[in-house]
Structure 1
C-alpha cells in the first residue's frame, strides 16, 4: 500500500494528532539498549539528606563506557524557573564518553552547573538540567517518608517529579559533534545520546526522591515497581519548536517518512481473525481506550477531551471484535482489517487515527532498522544553477501546488528571536516590536512571489540569469531545488496566519521524541512527560523492556 499523500500527512491537524509509536526516539533507544545488553550501574552517590551533592552512573554499551554525572542542589522557591534564561537549577548533568573518576568529576563540577556560561570538552556528548516539580517532588517524598506510595488521584495524569528544561549537544559549548561519532557508534543514531541522558535523568529523579525520603527515617518506603515504571521525566515545549521544522525541511521529511511508511505497511498487511498480530492489536487497543478514559480530568483543549476520544476508540474496538468473530468489518469480509479499521477511524477525525496508528504499527518490528536508517539526512541547501526557468517552473508545478490551496497572504503574525527570553517568539504584526528581525517562515508567500516573477521569464533562461534580475528569490530557489523529490518536507500551512495553531507542530515533534501525557497550557505551549511507563535501569534486559505503549496508571492494589 502506498503512503499517504503529502497534502494529507502534512496538514497541520494531521501532524498535531501524531502520538508516540515504536519508532519514536525514546522507544528505539531503549530497544537498542535492551537488545545490545547495555548495563547501568551507580558508580558514585554522595548526597546529603536534602538531596544535595553528586552522583555518577556508569553505562556499558557495545564495548564502550559512558558516564552520566549529576550535580544536585535545592534552590529556594523564588530562584526556581524553567525558562531558558534561568541561571540556576536544582539539577544539572552531563553525559560523557569514558570513565568519570574523581578528578574528572571535579573538572565537570567546575563547568556543568553553569550551563550556558560553562565550557565542555570534546568527550562530552550532552548537557542537561532540571528542576524539582513544584507540585509533585515534595509530595512524593512526604508520601514515601510516611511509608506510603503516591496517590494516583494526585500524580496520575502528569507523572513526573523532575522537569527537564534543555538537552544541549552536537558541538554546543565545545561538546563533541555527532557527525564525528559515526553510524557504528552506540550513540551515533539521531537523538540517541539525548535519549540516554533523559532516561538516566529520569532514573536519578526517582532515586533522588527515595534518598530524600529514606533520609527522614527508617520507616520510609521506596517506590513500588508500578510507580518506578510509571514516573517519567517532565518537560514543556514552547514556540521554539515551530521554526525548527521550517529551518530543517529534510529532518521534517525524514520524521514524516518514519511515520508514514510503517503506517502504510501495517494497512497493507493481510490479517486473520485468529492471528497473533490480531490479538496483539486487540490488547493494545483496549489499553489505549483505558489510557484515554482514565485521564478524563486532563486538560486537552483545543484537542478532543480524552473521554470523547476513548468513545471513538470504543467504536473501533467493536469493529475489531466483529472481525475476530466473523471476519468482517462493517459487514464486509476483509483480509486487510487494519486498513478497514483505519478507514473507519477517518470518519472520526485525525485524533482517532493518530491513536489507532500507534496500535497498528506496534506488532511489526520488521521496519525498525530501515526506519532508523532513514533518519540520517544532510541538511545543506544549494541553488541548482544547472537548471533553467522551465525546470524550476516544472518543480513548482509538481511540488508546490499546495500553496494555491491556502491563504498565503495572511500576515497577521511574525516570528522572531527574543533578546530578553533568548527563545523564538511570535508577535502581532503592527503591534508588537521585533518585525525588523523577523524569521523568514513565510514559505508559501515566498513561493507565490517566486512564481509570479517566474511567469514572465522565458523557459530557456538560465536560473543564474534569472537570479541576477531577481536576487531576493535566492533562498526560496535553493530550498525548492534542494527539496525536490522529498515528499514530506513542507508543512501545508501559512505560519503567519491568524488561525495557525503552533500546538500542531509542537505535538508532532514531541510524538517523534516519544513524549506523552499532552497537557496544553495555551495555544503556544504544553507540558509533556518522557519515558512514562518505560523500564528502569534494572529492568532493561527484561522481556517487557519494549512494551510500554499507552501506560496505565498505578492504582492502589486491592487488599
Structure 2
C-alpha cells in the first residue's frame, strides 16, 4: 500500500480515514512543506535549477514574445510566452474565454524557427489549437485589472506599491488554466522516465506556474522602464511577496472522486509526515521546538493581517489568529518548564496537536503545518507516494458475503445518508457544453440529467449494499453482476480500494447541503495555494507562490522558509 517500510510503519500511526476524510477537516486544509509548490521549489533550489531569459521581444506595453530557458542538470526545458493586452471587456477567467493577456507553452527539445512559428500560431488559440508531442504544458493568464497597471505606475514614479492598496491577496497575473498529459496533442507524462526531473505528478505544472509568476515581475518592471527610464524595480519584501492569482470553481470537484488512488496519495502526503512528527519525543531545548515557536508567532501575525479577507464560510482570519494565541502560550510554557497546561510531557507535538483540535479543524491544520514544517525526515519518501496505479478491476471469484463485508466496513460512513430523503438527491453533476467544464444542476429542474456524471459514490454504495443484502452469501460476484450489471463500476471500485485507506471523501455530492468549497480547498492546499477567499458556495479566489524564492534565489540554492509570508512593511 505504501512504497517504503518507513511509510508502511507510519501509516499504522496515522489518523483514521473517518478523521482525514471528514468534509469539515478537508475544508480546513492548509498547505504544508509537502504541497506541490513547496516540494518543487525545495528540489529546484537543492539542484540549483537555472532560469535564463533567452528571448525578450516586447514592446512598451508588454506585448510580444518571451522565452525562458530552464537548465536542470543535463536537462533543459523552455517556457515560450506570447504576451498581449486585452480590453477589459474581453478579459475573463472562464474556461470559455477566447483570448488572454498571456499564453504560454512549456516545451522540451530545441526551439527551431519552424517550431517557434508553429507555437506562435497554435498556443494563443488554446482549446482550438494543437500541440506537438514535445510540449508538456499549455497555460494562459490575465493581467490583474486592479494591480498590474497600479504596480507599473508606482515603479515608474520611483516608489514601491502600497500594501493597503494591494490588499490581502496580491498578485500581478492570475492564471486561468494549465493543460497537459495528452490534451490538444500535448506529451503524455507516461513517457517521462524515472530520472526525468519533471516525472512527478504536477511538477511540470508547478514549474510553469512559477515561471508565470516570474514573468509577471519582469513584465511590470519592463513596462515601468518604458514609461520612465529612471523607474525602480520591486525591492525589499516586495521582491518576493507578489504571487500568482488563481480562481477555481466546480470543475475541480469531480477530480478527487474520479481519481480515488490520487486522493489517497494526496492525503497520505499530509498524514504520514504528521504521524511521524507526532510520534517524536521532545525536550524544551529541542531546536525544532524553538523554530516552531517562531513559525507559530509568524502565523498569528499572518492571519491577523488578513482580518479583512472575505473567508466565509471558513473561519475568519482574525478569529483564527486569536485561536493561535493560546497555542503560542502553551509552546512558550513548554520551552520554559517542560510542561503544557501544568503537566510535564515528553511529546509536546502530540499535546499541541490535541490542544489545537479543541479550537476546531482550522486551528489544528495551522498547528499541524507548523509541526510538519520542522520535521523534514520523510521528504524524499513522501514524494514517491504520488505515482499511482489507478486501475480498477472486478474480482469475479469473490463471494457476495466477502464483498458485503468490504462495503459495510469501508463505507460505513454512507449509512448516515438517507436516500429516501429528497434533500439527499437535490443535485446532479454533468459536463456543461456552454461552460466546457463540470457543473451541477438541480434534479428535476435543470437540463442535463440524462448525461449525469457517475460521481454519486454514496448513493451507489447504498444501492449496492441493499441488493447484496438480498443475495446468498456464497454467490460469486460474477453471478451477482450478471443479475445486477449496473453495479459493475461501484463493485470494481469497492474491491480495488478495499485496502486504500484515504480513497473516498466522506460526503454526498448530490445533497442539498453539500459544500463544494471543502473539496476545492483541500485540492488547492495540496497545490500549495493560500488566501482562500470564497466568492460563493461554488468558487473561490486564491494565490500561489506569495513569498516564494525567485529565479535567482533558486539558482543560488536558496529555498528559505516562506510559510506564512508576512505583508511588506511600509518602508520596504
Q: TM-score, normalised by structure 1?
A: 0.98
Deviations 1:345-377 (A, max 9, x none): 111100001111110000111111111001110
- Separation in 1 of the partners of 2:557 and 2:456? 48
Asked if the contact 2:142–2:174 (Cα under 8 Å) also holds between the matched residues in 1, the reply is yes
What is the count of residue pairs matched by the alignment?
Answer: 558
Work out the CA distance in 2 between the residues paired with 1:245 and 1:16.
Answer: 14
Q: Which residue of 2 aligns with 1:494?
A: 508
* Contact 2:51–2:555 (8 Å) recurs in 1: no
- The answer to whether residue 416 in structure 2 is matched with residue 401 in structure 1 is no
Runs of at least 5 residues in structure 1 that lack an aligned partner in the other structure? none
Contact 2:45 2:557 in 1 (8 A): no
In structure 2, how many angstroms separate the alpha carbons of the residues matched to 1:253 and 1:225? 40
Question: What residue is the counterpart of 2:220 in the other structure?
Answer: 209
Whether the 8 Å contact between 2:48 and 2:557 is mirrored in structure 1 is no
2:290 to 254, 279, 285: 279
| Superimposed CA distance per residue, residues 287-321 of structure 1 (whole angstroms, 9 cap, x where no aligned partner) | 11111000111101001111100000011001101
In the other structure, the counterpart of 1:332 is 343
Conserved in 2, the CA contact under 8 Å of 1:56 and 1:100?
no
CA 386–228 in structure 1, closer or farther in 2 if over 3 Å, else same: farther
Q: Deviations over 1:31-50 (max 9, x none)?
A: 11111121111000010001
Q: What is the match of residue 179 of structure 1?
A: 190
* CA apart distance, 1:546: 4.0
1:445 and 2:459 are equivalent in the alignment? yes
CA contact (8 A) 1:26 1:195 kept: yes
The separation in 2 between residues aligned to 1:223 and 1:101, in whole angstroms, is: 34
Per the alignment, residue 252 of structure 1 pairs with: 263
For the residue of structure 1 that corresponds to 2:378, the secondary structure is helix
Match of 1:77 among 88, 92, 115: 88
SS in 1 for 2:255: helix
Do residues 322 (structure 1) and 333 (structure 2) align?
yes
Question: Judging changes above 3 Å, is the alpha-carbon distance between structure 1 residues 408 and 39 closer, same or farther for their aligned structure 2 residues?
Answer: farther
Q: 1:105: Cα distance to partner?
A: 2.1
Distance (whole Å) between structure 2 residues aligned to residue 105 and residue 225 of structure 1? 37
Verify: 1:361 aligned to 2:372, yes or no.
yes
Distance in 1, Cα, partners of 2:114 & 2:52:
19
Report deviation, 1:342. 0.8
Unaligned runs of 5+ in 2: 1-9
Q: How many angstroms apart in 1 are the aligned matches of 2:98 and 2:74? A: 37
Q: 1:225 to 1:183 in 2, by over 3 A?
A: farther
In structure 1, what is the equivalent of residue 59 of structure 2? 48
Q: Tell me the SS of whatever aligns to 1:381.
A: coil
Report the more deviating stretch, 291-300 or 428-437: 428-437
Note the C-alpha offset of 1:224: 0.7
Match of 1:91 among 102, 105, 128: 102
- Does residue 524 of structure 1 match 2:524? no
Secondary structure at 1:19's aligned position in 2? Answer: coil
SS at structure 1 position matched to 2:250:
coil
Q: Is the 2:48–2:556 contact (alpha carbons within 8 Å) kept by the matching residues of 1?
A: no
After TM superposition, the structure 1 = structure 2 runs for residues 393-542 of structure 1, keeping only pairs within 5 Å, are 393-409=404-420, 410-542=424-556
Distance in 1 (alpha carbons) for counterparts of 2:464 and 2:112: 58
Render the CA deviation track for 1:485-532: whole Å, top value 9, x for unaligned.
Answer: 001001111111111110000000000000011111111100111111
- Aligned equivalent of 2:6: none
Q: Tell me how far apart the structure 2 counterparts of residues 339 and 405 of structure 1 sit (CA, whole Å).
A: 30
- In 2, are the aligned partners of 1:408 and 1:494 still within 8 Å (CA)? no
Q: Distance in 2 between matches of 1:544 and 1:55?
A: 25
Range with greater deviation from structure 2 (378-387 or 111-120): 378-387
Alpha-carbon shift at residue 228 of structure 1 (Å): 2.2
- Secondary structure of the 2:237 match is helix
2: CA distance between counterparts of 1:159 and 1:540? 22
Does the aligned pair in 1 maintain the 2:517–2:538 contact within 8 Å?
A: yes
The 2-side partners of 1:172 and 1:225 are apart by: 41
CA contact (8 A) 2:105 2:135 kept: yes
Distance 1:60 1:221 in 2: 29
Task: List structure 1 runs of 4+ shifted beyond 6 angstroms.
Answer: none
Q: Which residue of 1 aligns with 2:304?
A: 293
Match of 2:249 in 1: 238
Contact 1:58 1:99 in 2 (8 A): no
Distance (Å, rounded) in 1 between the aligned partners of 2:498 and 2:380: 25
**For 1:57 and 1:548, how far apart are their aligned partners in 2?**
24
CA–CA distance in structure 2, aligned partners of residues 543 and 122 of structure 1: 32
Q: Deviations over 1:50-108 (max 9, x none)?
A: 10000000001131111000000001111111110111000000000133344432221
Match of 1:376 in 2: 387
146, 158, 166: which one pairs with 1:147?
Answer: 158
State yes or no: 1:341 paired with 2:361.
Answer: no
CA distance in 1, matches of 2:45, 2:419: 47
- CA drift at 1:183: 2.4
Q: CA deviation at 1:397?
A: 2.3
Query: Using the alignment, how far apart are the partners of 1:74 and 1:100 within structure 2?
Result: 25
Aligned equivalents of 1:62 and 1:482: distance in 2?
Answer: 39
Query: Of residues 126, 136, 139 in structure 2, which corresponds to 1:128?
Result: 139
Q: Note if contact 1:30-1:546 (Cα within 8 Å) is conserved in structure 2.
A: no
Cα distance, 1:542 vs structure 2: 4.6
Residue 544 of structure 1 and its aligned partner are, at CA, apart by 4.5
Whether the aligned pair in 1 keeps the contact of 2:36 and 2:202 (CA below 8 Å) is yes
Mean Cα deviation higher: 366-375 or 98-107 = 98-107
Q: CA RMSD in A?
A: 1.2
